Amino acid sequence: MQVLSALSSSRPRWLLGLSVVALVALTAVTVGCVVPRGEFEFVGLSAVHGGIEIGAKGVKATVVELRSGNGPGPEVKILLSKTVNTTLVAGLTKTGHFDNEALQDTVGVVTRFFNQMKQEHKVPEEQLHIVASSGVFSPLRDQKDLVQTNQDVLAAAVLKATGKKLAFLDVQREAELGIVGIVPPRDDEALSIDIGSGNTKGGYRDRDNRFVTFSLPFGSVSYAEYVRKEAEKSNTPYERQLSESSARNLAAPLHQQLESKPGLRERNRVYLSGGAIWALATLIHPADRKSFVELSVDDITTLQKLLQDNPQTLPSPDLSKIETEAVRKEAESDIQRVRDAFTARNLQGSMEILKTLANELELGKKKMLFVRHSQVGWLLAYVGEQAKSASPK
Would residue 269 count as lying in a domain? yes
Summarised one tens digit per residue, pLDDT across range 333-353 is 999 999 998 999 999 999 999
- Average pLDDT value for residue range 207-215: 93
In this predicted structure, what is the pLDDT of residue 304? 96
Q: How far apart are the C-alpha atoms of 334 and 346, rounded to whole Å?
A: 17
52 inside domain: no
Residue 361 belongs to what domain range?
182-375
Residue 311 lies in a domain: yes
Give the count of domains, the chain.
1
> In the prediction, which pLDDT does 332 show?
96
Reference 82, options 127, 116, 126, 48; nearest CA is: 116
Rounded Cα gap, residues 206 and 338, in angstroms:
35
Examine the pLDDT at 231 and tell me if it is beyond 60: yes
Q: What is the mean pLDDT of residues 143-170?
A: 96
d(CA 374, CA 362): 23
Q: What is the CATH number of the domain that holds 334?
A: 3.30.420.150
In this structure, is residue 335 part of a structural domain? yes
Cβ of 158: how many Cβ atoms within 10 Å?
A: 22
C-alpha–C-alpha distance, residues 102 and 89, integer Å: 8
Residue 314 lies in a domain: yes
Q: Could you tell me what percent of the chain has a pLDDT over 90?
A: 64
* pLDDT surpasses 80 at 277: yes
Q: Higher model confidence: residue 187 or residue 356?
A: 356
- pLDDT bin (cut points 50, 70, 90) of residue 77 is confident
Task: Between 153 and 28, name the one with better pLDDT.
Answer: 153
18 and 35 in contact (C-beta within 8 Å)? yes
State yes or no: pLDDT of 371 exceeds 70.
yes
Phi and psi at residue 76, to the nearest 5°: -125, 130
- Is pLDDT at 22 greater than 70 in this prediction? no
The reply to whether 392 falls in a domain is no
Q: 204 lies in a domain?
A: yes
Q: Alpha carbon 182 to chain centroid distance?
A: 10
Burial class (CB in 10 A: 0-12, 13-18, 19+), 164: middle
Q: What is the mean pLDDT of residues 19-33?
A: 39
Q: Quick check: is 177 in a domain?
A: no
**pLDDT higher than 90, residue 286:** yes
Percent of the chain with pLDDT over 70: 84
Between CA 171 and CA 135 the distance in angstroms is 8
pLDDT above 60 for 316: yes
pLDDT at 390: 54
Residue 60 dihedral angles phi and psi, to the nearest 5°: -110, 140
Q: What is the Cα–Cα distance from 142 to 140, expressed in whole angstroms?
A: 6
Average pLDDT score over the chain: 84
Which comes out higher in pLDDT, residue 184 or 325?
325
Arithmetic mean of pLDDT, 262-283: 96
What does residue 29 show for φ and ψ, rounded to 5 degrees? Answer: -85, 95
Q: 300: which residues sit within 8 A by CB, 6+ positions away?
A: 280, 351, 354, 355, 358
User: Alpha-carbon Rg of the chain, whole angstroms?
Assistant: 20
What pLDDT is recorded for position 31? 46
